[in-house]
Amino acid sequence: MKSFSIALIPGDGIGRDVTAAAWTVLETAAKHCGFGLTGTELPWSCRFFKETGRMMPEDGIETLRGFDAILLGAVGWPAEVPDSVSLHGLLLPIRKAFVQYANIRPHRLLPGVTGPLRAESFDILCIRENTEGEYSGAGGRVHLGTLDEVAVETSIFTRAGVERILRFGFEQARTRRGKLASVTKSNAQKYSMVFWDEITRKLAAEYSDVEVTSYHVDALAARMIMAPESLDVIVASNLFGDILTDIGAAIQGGLGYAASANINPDRSAPSMFEPVHGSAPDIAHLGIANPIAAIWSGAMMLDHLGEKDAAGRVMKAIEATTARGLGTIAGKDSTNTITAAVIAALN
């Protein structure tokens, strides 16, 4: 029997509840579809930091490299550990070390979920660059604490990095409705985004079957709200994609539904799957976190592992659950109730 080894990093806050929920759903799907899933839980989190002074052990990346995929809940407990420490100690280094350069985030309404827009139907796939750009981590501060203090944070756009993410976007558009929105801001950023636009145009010549439009990020933000149905695949830099995918999450009903996959398309290292939402310390331990985003992320993991049938079944089970009105109103149904309903729909 084929079997996959999965690293489970529940992390902090509601990350623990939603990872446990997603895992039971995935185990059930695996059983039905005749493949094995072995989960190894790693306690890496802000609590781990308080105990050891590190978000993950020194050889954490090497440990993770041995798995087929990583399922992550959420990282962050700002009251105890600054976000700049926790995220740069766990989530962000994994994305970079494993060259998970494509962060894929689907935005569409699940049946029974009412978004805040009048829009009835849209189906957007956002592809966010995930390893460089504005979140490269290059910079520094000098003259600390003085009136002359300076903070510099440099965006890094490499030809290889921009070309591979744009190419990934073109390829995705090809498998969908053939439309690509390339997100720019070249009217204000005359180096990085002019570069981005040039590479978009170069690839457009290669993908003549894809209809590509460059949108400034501010205009695209408005379009996602005013005319989301006009969009198919969106490809954006790290910062722009980060912001636009929170808009995507909002229009699909909230962060409880926003799934994501951090993909290494070359498969030279494991990919990582996680809901877009954070650890939500304010509602952690109330047992009301919506597990749907995490379960959907789990379905994306099965798809990446080649288990298309299981992935499709999990998506159908999620849809059957929300269609019944379960998990469609924030805080109404418990994490356990929603998870049990998804499992029942799988059976």
Residue nearer to ligand IPM on the CB measure, 235 or 276: 276
Active site residues: 135, 185, 218, 242, 246
Q: Is 134 in the site for Mn ion (CB under 5 A)?
A: no
CB of 2 to ligand IPM, least distance (A): 30
H or E element, residue 212:
strand 211-216
Q: Is 276 in the site for ligand IPM (CB under 6 A)?
A: yes
Asked if 272 and 70 touch (Cβ cutoff 8 Å), the reply is: yes
Choose the one of ligand IPM, Mn ion, none that binds residue 87, judging by a C-beta under 5 to 8 angstroms depending on kind.
Answer: ligand IPM
Type of residue at 22: A
Quote the strand ranges of 60-194, DSSP E. Answer: 69-74, 102-108, 123-129, 133-142, 150-156, 179-184
Pick the stretch among 23-31, 198-206, 238-246, 337-345 that binds Mn ion (CB under 5 A): 238-246
**Residue in 129, 232, 242, 307 binding Mn ion, rule: CB under 5 A:** 242
CA 20, CA 73: separation in Å to the nearest integer?
9
Residue nearer to Mn ion on the CB measure, 128 or 313: 128
Asked if 67 and 32 touch (Cβ cutoff 8 Å), the reply is: no
Q: Which residue is nearest to Mn ion (CB)?
A: 242
Pick the stretch among 77-85, 198-206, 237-245, 294-302 that binds Mn ion (CB under 5 A): 237-245
**Helix H segments across 4-152?**
14-33, 46-52, 60-65, 83-89, 91-97
Q: Residues in contact with ligand IPM, total (CB under 6 A)? A: 3
Q: Is 87 in the site for ligand IPM (CB under 6 A)?
A: yes
DSSP string, 277-297: S---TTTTTTT----HHHHHH
**Residue in 12, 132, 134, 242 binding ligand IPM, rule: CB under 6 A:** 242
Sites of contact with ligand IPM (CB under 6 A)? 87, 242, 276
